[in-house]
Structure 1
Amino acid sequence: MRVERFLTDSAQAFPEKTALVTADRRLTYAELNRLTDALASSLAAQGVKRSDRVLVFMDNCWEAVVSIFAILKAGGTFSPINSSTKGNKLTYIIGNCEPAAILTQGRLMPVVREALAEHPGRQIAVLSTEGRNGVPEGAGSFIAALEAEATPPAHGSVETDLAMLIYTSGSTGQPKGVMMTHDNIEAASRSIITYLEGRSGDIVLNVLPLAFDYGLYQLLMTFRLGATLVLEKSFAFPQAIFDLMRRERVTGFPLVPTMAAMILRMTELQPGFLPDVRYLTNTAAALPAEHIAQLRGLFPGARLYSMYGLTECKRCTYLPPEELDRRPGSVGIAIPGTQAFVVDDTGAQVPPGVEGELVIRGPHVMQGYWRNEQATSAMLKPGPDGVIQMHTGDLFRTDAEGFLYFVGRKDDIIKTRGEKVAPKEVEAVLHALPGVAEAVVAGIPDPILGQAVTAMVVLSNPALTEREVLAHCARNLEDFMVPKRIVFKDALPRTDTGKVSRRLAAGELEQAA
């Protein structure tokens, strides 16, 4: 199934149903279908053809949703770009994927112009969401394009064509373009919908960027189901979001750990304050066990799914909610229709309890990194039977029943005093201390220890002292794992997608040392 059918099939089945709710517009499936037809026709008139890349450089808005499905209807490959992206990074992306067009917002045109100035000979159509009379210099009118003849072009694309090129933020170096076909997206969305028990009556809130695959799939899965997506730009004002959720009777609430920490710091919230929510999901990073317990207390009628995934395959594992009490620290089992197992350096599977690298197999695994054979071959390797499998670079272990536990990134492991320390283990102990809201742990170069275990902590109880935190760690960790220093901060450093950045934290801690 080609991905644009997520919209067209639902438009046929539920034409008058509300598909999308944003701050300034509500659109039915029929209205969205017509708008995407019109924009697809306009893109084709601009020269966009089968397999051409088109950048969607916008924040979370209805125009971004229309853009994604219009590009697919034109036979192109959409590439969502975070609206916080700066000119130098956009310059790199343009040079890397050579887009045929860029769909953007008027306020972002200065960044687009800066990036295009570095590619003076490249022919790229630019459409801005500003009104017809207010189109920024150098751009066509997105609004006028929506008034084009509403007949999508016949493009001849097939399910094995690329549907999406999504750039990873990357811990080092330039971002890499993850290549996902229509088949990849179909398989991933079908699998996730299966274990979430998705239904057409769902109303899903999404405050995560559409340029972040977790946020993007809220759109894709909702439209595939014929459900309703409530799209917001951020979680900066939680009370306003909660009011919106109550008004719209939201049933699905995707979280990242940052959002969970914000919610749990709001002491005035009472259990059941969002009574319509039937499920919560978490990915991007593992939730501390203490946060899981507190969230379950606030959402007593909801199912909580702890998950693990990578942009390179969308989702790897999920923990069935009924297993939370038995193994709150687990990220579960392979998602339906896929395989996940732990191997040693030779590629052989390891027994339960032994740490190794997580390997993923299935129809949701990417095709590779765009124009980066070296990075592709490092991640996608043939298994013993010749089938390509994805080596995640993450350390895991399993329990006796095959449930998976995240240990840490291979390159995150701290080597101190000749011992290896997984930052996540130290963070779990820190999160268990009342008064600690968030924590991130990194290894800082040390002439004697090699690396010194160092923690950056955000407090919910400002009276807590470094001595008390260290004493708690000493009671619960082996001596070589106890941080040598605790640095208190008002907030932890984060990536554009809101994930806590261990790399940025390490840089700040090293500078402050």
Structure 2
Amino acid sequence: MKEEDLDSLMIKSYPPGIKRHIQIPEIGIYQQFCRSASKYASHVAIDFMGNRISYSRLKQEIESAASFLKGLNLHKGDKLTIMLPNIPQYVIFFFASMKLGISVVQMNPMYMLPEIEYELNDSGSRNIVVMHDMLSKVLPLKEKMLDNIIDVRVEDYLPPVKALLYKAVKKGKSEKLAAPAGIIPYSGKSRNPAADDESIDPYNDAALLQYTGGTTGVPKAATLTHRNLLANVNQLIEWFPEDFKESISYLSSIPFFHVYGMMTAMLTPLMQGSTIIPVPDPRDLKMTLNIIKKKKPTAFPGIPTMYHSIINYPDLEKYDISNIKLCISGAMPLPLELQKKFEGKTGGTLVEGYGLSECSPVTNISPLLPEWKNRRKPGSIGLPLPETYEKIVDIDDGITEVPQGVEGELLIKGPQVMKGYWNRPEENKQILVDGWLHTGDIAKMDSEGYFYIVDRKKDMIIAGGYNIYPEEVEKVLYEHPGVSQCAVVGVPDAHRGETVKAIIVLSDKSVTEDEIKKYCQEKLAKYKVPKIIQFTDSLPLTPVGKIDKKALRHDKN
């Protein structure tokens, strides 16, 4: 489909009031934040456990941190690794880096030494911000590959009483660590003079190196420019219903180190004058529910496992979650039954979106207007965001567009598409062709421009010459009333090459393997029916909360 034809189709399919073409400011991220801070100076930017930080104060904190970084001899073009949970220092050092033209490398604080070493070495980052409780993870790398370890403490941004309680709980538990040269404590209490802003080329200067598995191979960093990230911010805000375009509150539970969390729970809210309510550990459901009950956030970007955990919490009736009105689910498919149950509990709107680290990350969302609930399309990731172009091409040649409704590889073009993978010129030639990003995802498009992900190309199971998409099998399993959670993977098979294995968490323990197989046989072609059924009490999750299929594939059970 030609780009102008997709434009015409989107104009017909978009909800009222949403523009297909938008203006994206040609400035740096920090400059855009300054506009927000000026307009909403007295509004609360961060509400961290009761410590309410206004936009004007946050700007001062960022200016001070930028001067601190400059004092450590960090300059434009350098890299700063941020290895923190969702605490105020994450926001402060992120924007301080943007001010100075430093590229942020986002790192999972749950990583172990080999993973930390790999990303530091690959990115060339020689400076890291880490929480004091996690210092021992990076100390072995100090002499080998780090110039500075910036040591921050969560209690520095807690309200006074909570800070004392936190210290009391930690007393005697904290590791006694020697402090070699290069470990620099940062409390945020000193006020350094403001450093000059660096001149930013939004189209070429890298704001973020975001590590991802990509479509193939080892982890690699998607290079996201200031323009990429600001484009996605403005695309999302344009997509929101009018009442949600500015000055709302967000439950910022999804980790900032994940590009989806960074974009939907930190960057976009702060660019629209909203309040973010960071949750340091999203797995602490009791804390999360208490925050929802007390702070009454309006928006809750998340992933299905988060929503699933909340609606299945044993004492949910003790908490009022009815203030949640706007939820965008990403990172994995959203089961229809989960969507219905969560909306029933909150009275809000929960829709599925889609994106990739390579796209800053959001490219598609279903309409968010409450009155459009009856027009939603189950299983669809929605429509391409403003300025986003998509097409479906033949899986084998990667070029020929396939007819409407036919499955093929999804290609994406738009201002949010990455500059390329960091230091991967040959791979960039394969994945970025004439401005189009090859996603590696198998998808189809219907007559109204709604897209549907069939499955990841790399997750496809090939059994006896047949292509099998795990998501298709999982959708059938989720329809069984006795299935609570499931994952489908391909495992080696001497005869078929691979065979289908389903790992299932039951809500009804009386369900048997034979019953599951018979149920699938009624809904799937024979070659798609799982040959191996494994029941388990829980599925392994990645730190972000996605089902860890890599771990399941390597499980010998």
For normalisation by structure 2, the TM-score amounts to: 0.85
List aligned pairs for 1:187-336, cutoff 5 A: 187-197=231-241, 198-217=244-263, 218-266=265-313, 269=316, 273-300=320-347, 302-313=348-359, 314-321=361-368, 322=372, 326-336=376-386
Q: Residue 500 of structure 2: which of 439, 453, 466 is its match? A: 453
Number of the residue aligned with 2:521: 474
Give the whole-Å Cα distance in 1 for the aligned partners of 2:119 and 2:438: 25
Contact preservation (8 Å) 1:438, 1:458: yes
Contact preservation (8 Å) 2:152, 2:187: no
Q: CA deviation at 1:6?
A: 4.0
Contact preservation (8 Å) 2:293, 2:319: no
Q: Residue 440 of structure 1: which of 487, 492, 502 is its match? A: 487
Give the whole-Å Cα distance in 2 for the aligned partners of 1:435 and 1:76: 51
Contact preservation (8 Å) 2:503, 2:534: yes
List aligned pairs for 1:49-68, cutoff 5 A: 49-68=75-94
Number of the residue aligned with 1:175: 219
List aligned pairs for 1:299-378, cutoff 5 A: 299-300=346-347, 302-313=348-359, 314-321=361-368, 322=372, 326-344=376-394, 345-378=397-430
Q: Residue 493 of structure 1: which of 518, 529, 540 is its match? A: 540
Residues 181, 448 of structure 1: alpha-carbon distance in 2 compared, 3 angstrom cutoff: same
Kindly indicate whether structure 1 or structure 2 has the higher relative contact order, using CA contacts under 8 Å at least 6 residues apart: 2
SS of match in other structure, 1:102:
strand
Q: Deviations over 1:85-117 (max 9, x none)?
A: 111121122222222522212222222122334
Give the whole-Å Cα distance in 1 for the aligned partners of 2:409 and 2:141: 38
Number of the residue aligned with 1:40: 66
Number of the residue aligned with 2:159: none
Q: Deviations over 1:161-203 (max 9, x none)?
A: 1111111256875421111111111101110111123432210
Number of the residue aligned with 1:19: 45
Q: What is the Cα-based RMSD across aligned positions, in Å?
A: 2.3
Q: Which amino acid aligns with 2:499?
A: A
Give the whole-Å Cα distance in 2 for the aligned partners of 1:378 and 1:427: 31
Q: Is residue 198 of structure 2 the alignment partner of residue 155 of structure 1? A: yes
Residues 354, 409 of structure 1: alpha-carbon distance in 2 compared, 3 angstrom cutoff: same
Q: Is residue 35 of structure 2 the alignment partner of residue 4 of structure 1? A: no
Q: CA deviation at 1:412?
A: 1.4
Residues 348, 390 of structure 1: alpha-carbon distance in 2 compared, 3 angstrom cutoff: same
Contact preservation (8 Å) 2:366, 2:376: no
- What stretches of structure 2 of length at least 5 have no aligned partner? 1-26, 157-175
Q: Which amino acid aligns with 2:420?
A: G
Number of the residue aligned with 1:185: 229
SS of match in other structure, 2:250:
strand
Residues 223, 368 of structure 1: alpha-carbon distance in 2 compared, 3 angstrom cutoff: same
Q: Deviations over 1:362-388 (max 9, x none)?
A: 100000111111222221111xxxxx1
Q: Deviations over 1:16-51 (max 9, x none)?
A: 221112237321111111111011011112111112
Number of the residue aligned with 2:442: 395
Number of the residue aligned with 1:385: none
Give the whole-Å Cα distance in 2 for the aligned partners of 1:272 and 1:23: 17
Q: Which amino acid aligns with 1:358?
A: L
Q: CA deviation at 1:493?
A: 2.1
Number of the residue aligned with 2:468: 421
Q: CA deviation at 1:14?
A: 2.0
Give the whole-Å Cα distance in 2 for the aligned partners of 1:247 and 1:14: 23
Number of the residue aligned with 2:164: none
How many residues align? The count is 501
Q: Is residue 97 of structure 2 the alignment partner of residue 71 of structure 1? A: yes
Number of the residue aligned with 1:84: 110
Give the whole-Å Cα distance in 1 for the aligned partners of 2:127 and 2:287: 35
SS of match in other structure, 2:357:
coil
Contact preservation (8 Å) 1:255, 1:282: yes
Contact preservation (8 Å) 1:41, 1:74: no
Residues 100, 450 of structure 1: alpha-carbon distance in 2 compared, 3 angstrom cutoff: closer
Q: Deviations over 1:409-466 (max 9, x none)?
A: 1121112233221110100000111121111101111122221111011122222222
Give the whole-Å Cα distance in 2 for the aligned partners of 1:467 and 1:451: 21
- What stretches of structure 1 of length at least 5 have no aligned partner? 383-387
Q: Which amino acid aligns with 1:312?
A: E
SS of match in other structure, 1:118:
helix
Give the whole-Å Cα distance in 2 for the aligned partners of 1:340 and 1:481: 29
Between the aligned residues of both structures, percent identity stands at 28
